[in-house]
Amino acid sequence: MSAVIIDGRAIADEIERAIRHDVSNYCSLYNIAPSLVVIALGKDPRSMSYIRQKTRVCARVGIRDRTIFLPLETPEEDLLDAVCAMNEDSSVHAVLIQEPLPKHIASLKILQAIDPIKDVDGFHPENVGLSVVGAPRHEPCTPKGIFEALHRIGCAPAGRHAVIVGRSNLVGKPMMNMLIQKTERANATATLCHTGTPDLAFHTRQADILIAAAGRPELIKGDMIKPGAAVIDVGINAVDDPSSKKGYRLVGDVHFESAREVASALTPVPGGVGPLTCVMLASNTLAAARLAAESRS
Ligand code: NAP
């Protein structure tokens, strides 16, 4: 079997067109564009690349977007002040803190300071709780993008066994939660694996849908995949490659060549999950702007 390669960019373009249309309607209705503020500490090259991608998507769909760069050594109190200022600014609909944050900052404290209505990353405990009880407000962009892509490639989760590798708050846990909800669009049976899971391959071989989010280059080989499974590779790992100009290349958590012989569908790295994440941020920003408008009327 040779897997269909899932074109994340094409799916993201399709979603983006719909968002552009909805943003335009929002602007006509409220005479203001949805607006997103990203707060970043320092200029970590990987974060910068992600920020640039977000900026491009926002510009294309008509979202006003601004990044506030603070020095890496900014004290926690000053970062909290910056978050509070954005919470209070009614012209700002969405606030995102660029991770990773330096070690002297308590990440959870910062996330809890964001107005949950403006928390478009969906990491505020109130938003996490709402998702868990099946009443989602903002859901994290990466799992939301994957969920949408599964539907668009004809691999709806209902009745399927999804296996997720990785239990981060960013990807693994919210992915699990989305898949197991008792709704028509979800309703999967799901297994979550991590470093404490004995015999990872035993579990991954049960998966109709395998989602790899471990941050370990090429951890999942073809022989760990059930024939015909849909495989979503979230990982982005830089590995040394002297033959490349940059001295490295990006690989996923899935060994692409062996996986494509077994899977029925597979996301590439790059060009798979990444573009979906960015477009979902635009979707959440529009949703936050709508919530702000509803609360005013
Ligand atoms: P993370 O916070 O480092 O979490 C990794 C998870 O994988 C942990 O739960 C860890 O288990 C588990 N894990 C690591 N090695 C494992 C192994 N050998 N067997 C089983 N489980 C293992 O990472 P993350 O933030 O979720 O990100 C995961 C990857 O996705 C990274 O490469 C990241 O760059 C990428 N990413 C991509 C996008 C995108 O838009 N494409 C978005 C977000 C993240 P423990 O909990 O036991 O330590």
Say how many Å lie between the CA of residue 213 and the centre of ligand 1: 4
What would the pLDDT profile of 188-208 be if each residue is shown by its tens digit?
Answer: 999 999 999 999 999 999 999
What does the pLDDT read at residue 46? 83
Active site residues: 54, 98, 121
Supply the residue whose CA is at minimum distance from atom 14 of ligand 1. Answer: 214
pTM of the model: 0.97
pLDDT at 139 over 90: yes
Supply the residue whose CA is at minimum distance from atom 19 of ligand 1. Answer: 195
Say how many Å lie between the CA of residue 165 and the centre of ligand 1: 8
The conformation of residue 263, written as its DSSP 8-state character, comes to: -
Q: How far apart are CA 123 and CA 4, in angstroms?
A: 33
Q: Which residues contact 103 (CB under 8 A, 6 or more apart)?
A: none
What would the pLDDT profile of 75-103 be if each residue is shown by its tens digit?
Answer: 999 999 999 999 999 999 999 999 999 99
Supply the residue whose CA is at minimum distance from atom 21 of ligand 1. Answer: 194
Q: How far apart are CA 259 and CA 247, in angstroms?
A: 25
Q: How far apart are CA 260 and CA 98, in angstroms?
A: 33
Q: Any residues with Cβ below 6 Å from ligand 1, and which? A: 142, 165-168, 170-172, 193-197, 200, 213-216, 219, 234-237, 273-274, 277
What does the pLDDT read at residue 1? 73
What does the pLDDT read at residue 44? 87
The confidence band for 296, taking pLDDT boundaries of 50, 70 and 90, is: confident
Q: What is the mean pLDDT of residues 127-134?
A: 98
Mind giving me the DSSP string for 77-93? HHHHHHHHHHHH-TT--
The confidence band for 248, taking pLDDT boundaries of 50, 70 and 90, is: very high
Give me the half-sphere count of Cα atoms (radius 13 Å) on the Cβ side of residue 137: 22
What would the pLDDT profile of 40-77 be if each residue is shown by its tens digit?
Answer: 999 988 889 899 999 999 999 999 999 999 999 999 99
What does the pLDDT read at residue 297? 77
pLDDT at 233 over 90: yes
pLDDT at 148 over 80: yes
